[in-house]
Amino acid sequence: SPPSMLSPFPCAVNGLQARTFGVWTLLSSVIRCLCAIDIRNRTLYYITLFTFCLALAHFLSEVFIYHTAALTIGVMAPLMVASFSMLGMLIGLQYLEVEELSKKKKKN
């Protein structure tokens, strides 16, 4: 079988792990889509931000702690997406707070 692009140990991945990672990826994408639909929902916003934190921590730990993934384009892509998404969401969080403050001032 061809060597895996993500793992130098392809025999370390079994079907259960692959399906679990697939379901986790699907769940994360559903949460991110729901946040995109209701971007002003603070709870959902924080949960979405946390999904990117988890993804970043997961891929960094696989590369640098467990050494089960090589630093290839297949690993660097999710690292970059998670990093830039977290940065964008942290910047966007300031705008959500400003919007809430302006709504409170209008009520008073």
Query: Tens of pLDDT along 64-98?
Result: 999 989 999 999 999 999 999 999 999 999 998 88
Confidence of residue 8 (pLDDT cuts 50, 70, 90): low
The enclosing H or E element of 47 equals helix 42-64
Task: Indicate the pTM of the whole model.
Answer: 0.81
What are the domain boundaries of the chain? Answer: 16-107
Tokens 């709504």 belong to residue: 103
